[in-house]
Chain A
Amino acid sequence: MTALNLELRHPDERVAAQRTPEEQRAHEAREVAQHYEHNPEIFSLVLDKRLAYSTGVFLSPDEDLETAQARKFARVAAKLNIQPGEKVLDVGCGWGSLLLYLAQHTEGQFHGITLSSKQREVALQRARDWGVAERVRVDLTHVEQLNPAPESYDVVLFSGSIVHMHNREVIHQLVGRTLKPGGRLFISDCYFPAEMRGDRDSSATRYIFVTALGYCRLLSLSEELNLIERAGLDLLHVEDLTSSYVHTLGHWIDNVRRNRERIEAMAPGFSKVLQGYMTVAKLSFAKRTALEYMILATKGAPKVHVAGWPIPGNAR
């Protein structure tokens, strides 16, 4: 199969495209980790209690952040239907929010990877605190470096992490090989609309993608789905969470405001970076110049039956 020509949508993607895969991997490991290497205490002042650094699921704007994140965790768990003994790889597991929720609510075996040693420490400490350490392993590595054995995992997760990875075709081919038959891929992340909307070369875009978060590559949804299909998986379900991200970011920004002095005392200037990039993101999702989706795909026969998933009203 010939490589898919993914559109290069902003200047830093064009720079990334000139690097070798090894150079780009080193670039991501260095630049992306910087944001997440900040004192975890700062993120605990801004995020929900499990430290989910991804959108919650809001049914109404009046809900609080904990409710929306709890709904997201429960929804992801239902989508994945993890069975006892199944092996789960969480790529970019952060401080272990989703990984540890799933470890606490299923009997699977969990392997998280992150580029941040501070995130790894927090995830492992919480695994011990919450009594799931014997089923949770967390390594400091890039997924391309990990290069897991064929058919070695039942589930691969990317929650707010695949956006940091430039070589997406390589990643999806790796996931396709790594999953066992019946395996599931889950992604929750940010996309550009397929048709140009808004200014992608703006200083605001550069601020969020480079200054704040190190490296980001937003594909269009159809490009990501295409890569998933070309890796041999079948799409089961795609859900739009764009408006939920507007509300999630609103809560995070208010938490930065409330805790500005404490954040500045730990990392001078960082409250501005957080509030700045979060405001750019909130405005982008509100205008739908950026979109947020949850994607579920399966390798072969699915382990969940999406036809039964409830939708409101008579359509049920």
Chain B
Amino acid sequence: MAANMPLEEIGREVRNIIADALKRPVEQVPLTASLESGLGIDSLAMIEINIALEERFRFAMPDMASPAEANLKTVEDLSRFVAQQLAHQKGRLV
């Protein structure tokens, strides 16, 4: 159940998904990496990552054109945000 997944595991999945989207090895995507300045995630990459997160965790991410719009600075921020959304939506798809 994605809703009960530990934060550590969510973090691992988020790193994998970002690495996939950016076509980089996952080692280059630590939890501490900055999404925009460090990894260079632009509007389209953010949208693609959000869709991949939705596919993986079967929930709905809110619209955002950049990580900053949702106050997300690092990979860890995004992981915590996903965990919060999962708990809030209790695994509902839409």
Task: List A residues at the B interface (Cβ < 8 Å).
Answer: 199, 202-204, 207, 254, 257-258, 260, 272, 275-276, 279-280, 282-283, 286-287
B42-A203 in contact (CB<8A): yes
Q: Whose C-beta in chain A lies nearest to the C-beta of B93? A: A257
Instruction: Pick the most buried of B51, B52, B94: most chain A CB atoms within 10 A of its CB.
Output: B51
A207-B44 in contact (CB<8A): yes
Some 5 contacts from A to B, beta carbons below 8 A apart, are A204-B65, A257-B54, A257-B94, A276-B44, A280-B44
Chain A residues closer than 8 Å to B47, beta-carbon distance: 204, 276, 279-280
Task: List B residues at the A interface (Cβ < 8 Å).
Answer: 42-45, 47-48, 50-52, 54-55, 60, 63, 65, 93-94
A204-B51 in contact (CB<8A): no
Once bound together, how far apart are the Cα atoms of A204 and B48, in whole Å?
A: 10
Once bound together, how far apart are the Cα atoms of A287 and B63, in whole Å?
A: 12
Q: Whose C-beta in chain A lies nearest to the C-beta of B55? A: A260
Nearest-neighbour CB distance to chain A for B61, whole angstroms, equals: 10
Once bound together, how far apart are the Cα atoms of A283 and B63, in whole Å?
A: 7
Once bound together, how far apart are the Cα atoms of A280 and B55, in whole Å?
A: 18
Nearest-neighbour CB distance to chain A for B80, whole angstroms, equals: 22
Q: Whose C-beta in chain A lies nearest to the C-beta of B47? A: A279
Chain A residues closer than 8 Å to B60, beta-carbon distance: 254, 257
B44-A272 in contact (CB<8A): no
Nearest-neighbour CB distance to chain A for B31, whole angstroms, equals: 25
B93-A282 in contact (CB<8A): no
Q: Helix, strand, loop or mixed for chain B's interface?
A: helix
B43-A276 in contact (CB<8A): no
Q: Whose C-beta in chain A lies nearest to the C-beta of B59? A: A257
Nearest-neighbour CB distance to chain B for A204, whole angstroms, equals: 4
A204-B55 in contact (CB<8A): no
Chain B residues closer than 8 Å to A199, beta-carbon distance: 43
A282-B43 in contact (CB<8A): no
Chain A residues closer than 8 Å to B93, beta-carbon distance: 257-258
Nearest-neighbour CB distance to chain B for A248, whole angstroms, equals: 14
B48-A272 in contact (CB<8A): yes
Which 10 residue pairs spanning A and B have beta carbons closest together? A204-B44, A203-B44, A204-B43, A254-B94, A283-B65, A279-B47, A257-B94, A275-B51, A207-B44, A272-B51
Once bound together, how far apart are the Cα atoms of A272 and B55, in whole Å?
A: 9
Instruction: Pick the most buried of A203, A258, A279, A283: most chain B CB atoms within 10 A of its CB.
Output: A279
Once bound together, how far apart are the Cα atoms of A203 and B19, in whole Å?
A: 18
Once bound together, how far apart are the Cα atoms of A202 and B43, in whole Å?
A: 8
Chain B residues closer than 8 Å to A279, beta-carbon distance: 47, 50-51, 63
Nearest-neighbour CB distance to chain B for A45, whole angstroms, equals: 13
Once bound together, how far apart are the Cα atoms of A258 and B65, in whole Å?
A: 22
A276-B94 in contact (CB<8A): no
Chain B residues closer than 8 Å to A272, beta-carbon distance: 48, 51-52, 55
A204-B42 in contact (CB<8A): yes
Nearest-neighbour CB distance to chain A for B89, whole angstroms, equals: 12
Instruction: Pick the most buried of B42, B44, B45, B93: most chain A CB atoms within 10 A of its CB.
Output: B44
A203-B43 in contact (CB<8A): yes
B48-A202 in contact (CB<8A): no
Chain B residues closer than 8 Å to A283, beta-carbon distance: 43, 63, 65
Chain A residues closer than 8 Å to B55, beta-carbon distance: 260, 272
Once bound together, how far apart are the Cα atoms of A202 and B63, in whole Å?
A: 18
Nearest-neighbour CB distance to chain A for B50, whole angstroms, equals: 8
Chain B residues closer than 8 Å to A260, beta-carbon distance: 55
Chain B residues closer than 8 Å to A275, beta-carbon distance: 51, 54
Q: Whose C-beta in chain A lies nearest to the C-beta of B42? A: A203
Partner of B48, one of A254, A258, A276, A287: A276
Once bound together, how far apart are the Cα atoms of A287 and B43, in whole Å?
A: 14
